[in-house]
Amino acid sequence: MNFTIPDLYPASAEIFVLIMACVVLLVDLVAGKSRRWMAYFLTQLTLIGAFAITLFTMDGRTVLTFANGFIDDTFSDILKLVLYFSVAVVLIYGRSYMAERRLENGEFYLLVLFATLGMMVLISASHFLTLYLGLELMSLSLYAMVAINRDSAVCTEAAMKYFVLGALASGLLLYGISMIYGATGTLELPGVRQALYFNSANSKVLVFGLVFVVAGLAFKLGVVPFHMWIPDVYQGAPTAVTLFIGSAPKLAAFAMAIRLLVMGLFELAEQWQTMLMLLAVLSIALGNLAAIAQSNLKRMLAYSAISHMGFMLLGVLSGVVAGDPRYAVPAYSSAMFYAVSYVLMSLGAFGMILLLSRAGFEAENLEDFKGLNKRSPWFAFVMMILMFSMAGIPFFVGFFAKFAVLQAVVAAGHIWLAVFAVVLSLVGAFYYLRVVKLMYFDPPADTTPIRAPFDMRLLLSANGLAVALLGAMPQAILDYCAYAFIGGR
Amino acid sequence: MDFKTFVFYFLSAILLFAAVRVITARNPVHAVLYLVLSFFTAGGLWLLLHAEFLAIMLVLVYIGAVMVLFLFVVMMLDINLERLRQGFWSNLWVGLPVAVLMVAEMALVLTGRYFGAEALPTPPPQPADYSNTKELGRIIYTDYVYPFELASVILLVAIIAAVALTLRRRKDTKYTDPSKQIAVKRNERVRMVSMPAEKE
């Protein structure tokens, strides 16, 4: 019955974020309406502090703590660093938008912080229970954020849809987890892997549970046929919240896929790879084809998110070839590269919508981008870079991400899959290039000058340039992603 | 059939009956009451499994607190049952075959072999002074302290979200602020007006 205090050092970033969230809660309560900037400022400070803590406690070792419920490895550290960065960018982009619509209250920043904490827990989970709790912490905050504009019927409907389908997906995931627990007798992910390695007698039950786990996971990633919530939620939520949902949670969902499938159920790779293949093929096809028909930019980007997540799954599913895990590291690191570069592009694209929006006006339709070149040549250029990169045109970062994933797919021997993905990416290029055409060759429908805070303009420019310049050194990023997986062993 | 098996089947029969009545009862208040009954019998089943703490918690928390709240909500809301039941029979012909098919598939996959009595052997009997409550408390505050804290954070988020989404400061309420009432000065209450005398 001896109890030793668990090692808190690996989880110091999580503890810091939790304490700061409580501080923001109290400060915002006392500060009142006129000093809302304090909540914003403290939230940004929290993210910077967590960044510093994670950076300084990163030492390449893999440490398990809290009775094997928490894992601190290179994979989690690198993903968390990207996570803090993207959340900070979301707040800078979204602040003036929320303020103009009187939605900038302390609860918004609190929910962002708690969602971030949930994602950190999810990224560092090495136990089914902590994984589930991290997921719920993230999702619950997101549901509330979608509904934050409570007087808008569209918002509330989107939140309701998200909430009900999210609860269903959590149920599926839990049911699958309970089956896996029944078959292996443990909830710890490394323990599950060990149990699977030493006995595969209950494989029927395991595959049965796996189906439910993959279904729950697919919902969180938003891939076909579990994608129904994505377009409505993206369109219905306030754009700043859409920006948040479209960026950081994708990283968390990727981490969840890696933790569940690679860390826990690696021995069942043959089975889940086939399932993911089906999901990926459907998502790439439906995402790219449905996006063509959209006239709302937020909805178009939602369908593009579906196809991008399908593309990322291509990397996850090419790790093991005929029981041989030789290609695992390059394949998973290509998927991670894809996820990170998608987050970067998605931040920029939704940032552009926020830039063009102003009080009482949402620049969410394709027409609103007409003739942007006349209004602001620089931001039209930035948007062009983002669209080119999303379409996968060389030599932007999106191209290299697609290239790395396709390399992994070909190495795994799925030539037809690679050809299919390339053909549908070409189809997808149409709707990205349509935006560029509208910006450069159509007369402007709206000539209001663009007004935005200086920090947002600067960061958005930097974001666009990063998408262009990171394309110059794809190998360095890919090496970092590979380091995340090798260091994690 | 020994006494324990008899109790198990007895409670299970009540549980199944109550669960079916929850969804078939016409009156929503009756449905909630049947739900209470099914929770109560489930608590009895847990007692058979030596999980006395969980059984007591089920009765206390779910029946004592959650279901009473449910009952209040159901009584307050004016639920239009006719509208809810609309299309039930026409949808049944689509829903029922799908449901039957899924259950049959699951049953085929999960035939007794893996979850039968031999796959899950009976745990060794515990001594008479063994306390479930103590063991649960020990494990929650030691091994599972991290998930436990996370659960508390989730509850905090639920509170924040509920407040953020529902709290509205109404402008038309005529509530009084005691501190303002106390701080009031005489000249704010009474205004001296000098005016010439007038004849009626």
A24-60 per-position pLDDT tens digit: 999 988 887 778 889 999 999 999 999 999 999 888 8
Residue B138 contacts A, CB cutoff 8 Å: yes
pLDDT of residue A215: 94
Is A321 in a helix, a strand, or coil? strand
Single-letter amino acid code for the residue at A419: V
Contact residues for A465 (Cβ-Cβ < 8 A; gap 6+): A382, A385
| End-to-end Cα, chain B, rounded Å | 104
The C-alpha atoms of residue A281 and residue B18 are separated, in whole angstroms, by 45
Residue A33 contacts B, CB cutoff 8 Å: no
Contact A66 B115 (CB under 8 A): no
pLDDT at A152 > cutoff 70: yes
Contact residues for A153 (Cβ-Cβ < 8 A; gap 6+): none
- Say if A369 falls within a structural domain: yes
Q: Summarize pLDDT for A309-340 with one digit per residue, the tens.
A: 999 999 999 988 877 888 888 899 999 999 99
pLDDT of residue A483: 87
Q: What is the model's pTM?
A: 0.90
pLDDT of residue A283: 95
Q: Are A440 and A332 in contact (CB under 8 A)?
A: no
**pLDDT classification of A479: cutoffs 50, 70, 90:** confident
pLDDT at A397 > cutoff 70: yes
**pLDDT classification of B116: cutoffs 50, 70, 90:** low
Any idea what DSSP says for residue A320? -
- Say if A2 falls within a structural domain: no
Average pLDDT over residues B5-14: 94
Q: Helix A74-100 crosses helix A239-246 at what angle (to 10 degrees)?
A: 170
pLDDT of residue B102: 85
Q: Are A208 and A179 in contact (CB under 8 A)?
A: yes
| Candidates B142, B157, B160, B163, partner chain A, best to mutate (most A CBs within 10 A) | B157
pLDDT of residue B114: 62
- Locate the chain B residue with the closest alpha carbon to A201: B114
Average pLDDT over residues A280-298: 94
Q: Enumerate the residues of chain B whose CB falls inside 8 A of the CB of residue A137.
A: 150, 153-154, 157
Q: Are A369 and A435 in contact (CB under 8 A)?
A: yes
Q: A105 φ, ψ to 5°?
A: -120, 170
Q: Enumerate residues 185 to 204 of chain A having a beta carbon within 8 A of any beta carbon in chain B.
A: 202, 204
| Candidates B146, B155, B169, partner chain A, best to mutate (most A CBs within 10 A) | B146
- Say if A1 falls within a structural domain: no
pLDDT of residue A144: 94
**pLDDT classification of B182: cutoffs 50, 70, 90:** confident
Average pLDDT over residues B165-169: 81
How many residue contacts between A and B have a Cβ separation below 8 Å? 80
Bridge partners of B1, per DSSP, are none
pLDDT of residue A487: 66
Nearest to A351 by CA among A434, A232, A431, A466: A466
pLDDT at A375 > cutoff 60: yes
H or E segment at A70?
Answer: strand A70-72
Q: Are A141 and A114 in contact (CB under 8 A)?
A: yes
Q: Enumerate residues 99 to 118 of chain B having a beta carbon within 8 A of any beta carbon in chain A.
A: 106, 109-110, 114-115
Average pLDDT over residues A171-198: 89
Q: A147 φ, ψ to 5°?
A: -90, 10
pLDDT of residue A453: 86
- Say if A241 falls within a structural domain: yes
The C-alpha atoms of residue A436 and residue A439 are separated, in whole angstroms, by 5
The C-alpha atoms of residue A360 and residue A358 are separated, in whole angstroms, by 6
Q: Summarize pLDDT for A79-102 with one digit per residue, the tens.
A: 999 999 999 999 999 998 998 888
Q: Enumerate the residues of chain B whose CB falls inside 8 A of the CB of residue A111.
A: 157, 160-161, 164
The percentage of chain A sitting over the pLDDT mark of 70, rounded to a whole number, equals: 98
Contact residues for B127 (Cβ-Cβ < 8 A; gap 6+): none
The C-alpha atoms of residue A288 and residue A285 are separated, in whole angstroms, by 6
**pLDDT classification of B168: cutoffs 50, 70, 90:** confident
Average pLDDT over residues A358-364: 84
- State the smallest CA–CA distance between residue A60 and chain B in angstroms: 23
* Average pLDDT, rounded, for chain A: 90
Q: Are A132 and A167 in contact (CB under 8 A)?
A: no
pLDDT of residue A11: 92
- Say if A3 falls within a structural domain: no
**pLDDT classification of B183: cutoffs 50, 70, 90:** confident
pLDDT at A200 > cutoff 80: no
Q: Summarize pLDDT for A4-22 with one digit per residue, the tens.
A: 888 889 999 999 999 999 9
The C-alpha atoms of residue A215 and residue A172 are separated, in whole angstroms, by 7
User: Chain-centre distance of CA A4, in angstroms?
Assistant: 36
**pLDDT classification of B188: cutoffs 50, 70, 90:** confident
Bridge partners of A64, per DSSP, are A71
Average pLDDT over residues A96-123: 92
What are the angstrom distances between the C-alpha of A393 and each of A6, A352, A385, B191? 49, 20, 10, 79
Average pLDDT over residues A249-275: 92
Bridge partners of A358, per DSSP, are A361
| Helices and strands (H and E) in chain A: how many | 20, 2
* Higher-scoring residue by pLDDT: A143, A360: A143
pLDDT at A123 > cutoff 70: yes
pLDDT of residue A488: 45
- Locate the chain A residue with the closest alpha carbon to B147: A130
pLDDT at A447 > cutoff 90: no
Is A279 in a helix, a strand, or coil? helix
Tell me the torsion sign for CA atoms A193, A198, A202, A204: positive
Q: Are strands A63-65 and A70-72 parallel, antiparallel or unpaired?
A: antiparallel
H or E segment at A167?
Answer: helix A153-184
Rg (CA), chain B: 30
pLDDT of residue B2: 87
pLDDT of residue A1: 55
pLDDT at A204 > cutoff 90: no
Query: Domain residues for A386?
Result: 9-486
Angle (CA) A257-A258-A261 rounded to 5° is 75
Q: Enumerate the residues of chain A whose CB falls inside 8 A of the CB of residue B150.
A: 121, 130, 133-134, 137
pLDDT of residue A368: 87
The C-alpha atoms of residue B28 and residue B70 are separated, in whole angstroms, by 10
ipTM over 0.90: yes
Nearest to A84 by CA among A255, A270, A319, A247: A247
Average pLDDT over residues B120-135: 79
H or E segment at B10?
Answer: helix B3-24
pLDDT of residue A489: 43
- State the smallest CA–CA distance between residue A73 and chain B in angstroms: 18
Place of tokens 């570069």: A341
pLDDT at B35 > cutoff 90: yes
The percentage of chain A sitting over the pLDDT mark of 90, rounded to a whole number, equals: 64
Half-sphere exposure of A163 (CA within 13 A, CB side): 16
The percentage of chain B sitting over the pLDDT mark of 90, rounded to a whole number, equals: 28
- Locate the chain B residue with the closest alpha carbon to A143: B161
Domain count, chain A: 1
pLDDT at B82 > cutoff 80: no
* Token reading at B83: 């509208």
pLDDT of residue A88: 96
The C-alpha atoms of residue A442 and residue A156 are separated, in whole angstroms, by 35
Nearest to A432 by CA among A400, A463, A388: A388
Burial (CB count <10 Å: 0-12, 13-18, 19+), residue A92: middle
pLDDT at A201 > cutoff 80: no
